[in-house]
A and B are shown apart, each in its own frame.
Chain A
């Protein structure tokens, strides 16, 4: 599987100079990769200053990965060429197969590679990206390096997700779009990603699975936590899905039952997919109730509402901790969990309170509203060091705000503390982290 994510050598069939084309985007992305790449196009001698070969069989060197981005009508011929010389893996970028009703063409493609024993991703794939190492995709933006692996049936969604991740500042260990998933699909990547030391959680977008029992088996076998978003859960959605990736979506309740059986956390929005992926990547799981420290009442009330909807609970505070809190908190503060340390709380007050609450439970939620006396950056730094001191505790932060709060969020992200901008997301992250 490594040859798909970190190939030493890679050939692109269908490389081109043509402006605004898939072939050019792929060529540029490959030139920016840490791989020895070969361009193939019989109509060109030179592409982007690099020698261009007439056919794949002309290349002498052994090729780890071949990327195919030629029109659908020549894909079968190209596939035979690849089989002749041989390679470790193939990505078929080209569209025009089952998703447009060309089921027979897709079957023929499958049989050619089956005969030569070559695994392939696609067709109708965006490609594969290992940020800062390998980009075998025609994605328009380069994602940041991070700890979340993203497996997606859809390539277009990957483009949107990358764009969003750049805005929000999170990164990926790997991204793979498997398109029609004729040969390799979701279950096939799990084991590799589990063994990859940079991958701390796996996010999946899928519309269908070929073999649900195989998915359950593979997902149960790995240790890396998984979060999944299944598209096509309604009649209308599943109709759209069948014309999109050429597969019929099954009964939604049965998919959800399958995910539960596999021990996979299911969400129903793209945003939530990465909220949970971030939480799972950066935080250990916990049992029992959650301690909450806040400097604002309303956000704690809202979080409590989500807790009750999601089946989460708050931990109790022991009399001894109450005494300690009474010793330094404002007399107006009501000593209970959720603990409101009031709007004028300084970083020191936050820290003392958090330490006491960490004694009471395995999970701590810290909420901050940006008030007059609030030191956003200092609070963020304090939480990062707290997280380092208590690596086994679950700490989830809600910096409820936007522009000014962002400065703190960036510090927390760098410090690998799960941090979100809304009470809902804090609750969702904690739900996913609860055993």
Chain B
């Protein structure tokens, strides 16, 4: 399986109303100057390439960029990285909130199967995820969200804020819609989705063909 290229990925995300944070392609240092007037620090810089499935390990993602010098420096580090190859470099506004994952696997028995879970180490170590079979509606998506073990955290726990469950559920429904219509997409991996009281945004998106 291969990663769908950036422009086509964005096209599909828009078509199915899947919200992402403010994101732009950066070709040269010059692009950095114009863009950061519209948005504020901190930013995230990362590579996106059809040949790259894992970026963090390869030094192709930098979070928490706080000033212009840092931005330029990190941009050049990514640009010089041999692993980048034909990929593009993206600048993205950094979103605050809790991390979740959602996605789709085309199962040979059940067809598009949808996944939702807590992000970060929770998905890898605790495997706190729930599954459903597409197509699903909003109430089924909410049930998926409410069936994870860490569901208490959604309502706000100690100093974390309450999560807007409806916005999160809408993303799963939209993954379901996309999966039912776009048969060439074999797998979808949204990790992380960052959610807070106001919104849920897909920060990292991979559509596999």
Contact = CB atoms under 8 A, between A and B. Distances in A.
Nearest to A260: B132
B109 A250 contact: yes
A212 B132 contact: no
B8 interface: no
A209 B109 contact: yes
B138 interface: no
Interface residues of B, number: 12
Nearest to A250: B109
B133 A258 contact: yes
A247 to B, nearest CB: 10
B41 interface: no
A261 B140 CA distance: 10
Contacts of A256: 131
Contact of B109 (A253, A254, A260, A261): A254
A213 to B, nearest CB: 5
Interface in B131-160: 131-133
Interface in A152-191: none
Interface in B36-85: none
B131 A212 contact: no
Contacts of B131: 253-254, 256-257
A153 to B, nearest CB: 14
A87 B131 CA distance: 43
Given A212-B133, A216-B133, A257 B113 contact: yes
A29 interface: no
A274 B176 CA distance: 35
A250 B107 contact: yes
A43 to B, nearest CB: 43
Interface residues of A, number: 17
Contacts of B107: 212, 250-251, 254
A106 interface: no
A216 B133 CA distance: 10
B110 A250 contact: yes
Nearest to B132: A257
B111 interface: yes
A372 B110 CA distance: 55
Interface in A254-296: 254-258, 260-261
Contacts of B130: 257
Contacts of A253: 129, 131
B108 interface: yes
Interface in B96-120: 105, 107-111, 113
Interface string A289-316: 0000000000000000000000000000
A221 to B, nearest CB: 16
A201 interface: no
A261 B108 contact: no
Contacts of A211: 109
A125 interface: no
Contacts of B111: 212-213
A250 to B, nearest CB: 4
Nearest to B131: A257
Interface in A201-247: 208-213, 216
Given A216-B133, A254-B133, A256-B131, A208 B110 contact: no
A257 B109 contact: no
A250 B133 contact: no
A208 B109 contact: yes
Contact of A255 (B105, B109, B132): B109
Contacts of A210: 109
A255 B107 CA distance: 10
Looking at A210, A213, A216, A256, which has the most chain B CB atoms within 10 Å of its CB?
A213
A226 B196 CA distance: 40
Nearest to A209: B109
Contacts of B109: 208-212, 250, 254-255, 258
Nearest to B110: A212
Contacts of A250: 107-110
A431 to B, nearest CB: 15
Contacts of A255: 109-110
Nearest to A216: B133
A209 B110 CA distance: 9
Contacts of B133: 212-213, 216, 254, 257-258, 261
B49 to A, nearest CB: 29
Contacts of B132: 257, 260-261
Given A216-B110, A254-B105, A257-B110, 14 more contacts: A209-B109, A210-B109, A211-B109, A212-B111, A213-B111, A251-B105, A254-B110, A255-B109, A256-B131, A257-B133, A258-B113, A258-B133, A260-B132, A261-B133
30 contacts: A208-B109, A209-B109, A210-B109, A211-B109, A212-B110, A212-B111, A212-B133, A213-B133, A216-B133, A250-B107, A250-B108, A250-B110, A251-B105, A251-B107, A253-B131, A254-B105, A254-B109, A254-B113, A254-B131, A255-B110, A256-B131, A257-B113, A257-B131, A257-B132, A258-B109, A258-B113, A258-B133, A260-B132, A261-B132, A261-B133
Interface of A: 208-213, 216, 250-251, 253-258, 260-261
